[in-house]
A and B are shown apart, each in its own frame.
Chain A
Amino acid sequence: MKKLLLSLCLCSALLLTGCFQIIEEINLRADGSGTATLTINLSQSRSKVASLMLLDSVNGYKVPSQQKIRQEMAEAAAFLKQSPGISNVKSSTDFNNYIATISFGFRNVANISNLSKTILNRMKIRSSDQSSYSFNTSLLQFKRNYQHITSARTEYAKLKSEDKAIFKDATYTAIYRFEQQVASVSNRQAAISRSGKAVMLRSNILALIDGKTNISNTVQLKK
């Protein structure tokens, strides 16, 4: 019997090893307005996610149904629509590939400060993202402030090893696109595109949880 239990425990650890992507895209106009898109891509783990979604709960966590996820997305979209300066909210869920996307327009980039975290929270995804965004139209300077929350590390440490495996290869990607050329970026990990008008910063989610990576960035545009 012990052998069976052992096999089952180890198999469940194998089953739960997976990865996902979180992608944040912001297209910013010169006047500070623009569009933002947040994508969560579980496609790489989709067969595992599909198996898990057949269950009611895994490792003590409730597994949401497709209907529940759609409802959460609709609620997140409704919340956004009511948020000041936010317009043209669209959301989509692809249950073949397990990709969820939410996009919207904003009057000023400052309107989206903390939105990422709120949306993730509403989708029942824990986030350590303490974001604030600002754009100084006269200095043509875009600022993305990020502050690591130490409790994220503590909470992560409390997880069982099989649950931790979920974050092993998870990545976070932030892309900021501008109408003007980028003069400089403060974050060394950030890359500037060939056109010189976009900045990308990639990080492993574990590094964010650990506080080893800081995704704060100041992008100075050419005048």
Chain B
Amino acid sequence: MSRFVPHPVLSAVLVLMWLFLTAFTPGHLLLGTLIALGAGWSVEHLHPPKPVFRRWLAIPKLMAVVALDILRSNIAVARVLILGPDHPKYHSGFVELTLRLRDPNALAVLAIILTGTPGTAWIEFDQEEGRLLLHVLDLRSDDDWQSLIRDRYEALLMEIFE
């Protein structure tokens, strides 16, 4: 925000990490603070798009939804792997979706969620038209991925970022 501490959150997290990895002493606090300020300045030179959070309250809800979904899809993928890929019930393939999200930070969070969830992999995204190519391991025909992603993640992310 100010000229000397351009990224206060990033610098604070770096200082905390430095203290956890070494020891809680004043010397390490000083050294960690210097390094964190240097990291903040170098990040400032990259000119990243600054995230603007509109609603902080939706973040814990999003985290809970994501943790639950990752657990559920872990179990689903484990079942696919145990039954074997040749099982006729399972069918994997590519899915093409259209996203309404445009904010780069929100898109990055969505990419982390979708790639971190076993069973879906983010393959390609076209920025201009907002088209996304996903690969899905367990593609049930009655499952509409477009509405699933729109209702579950996109609405929450738009609430937070846009």
**A complexed with B:** no
Interface residues in chain B, defined as those with a beta carbon under 8 Å from any beta carbon in chain A: none
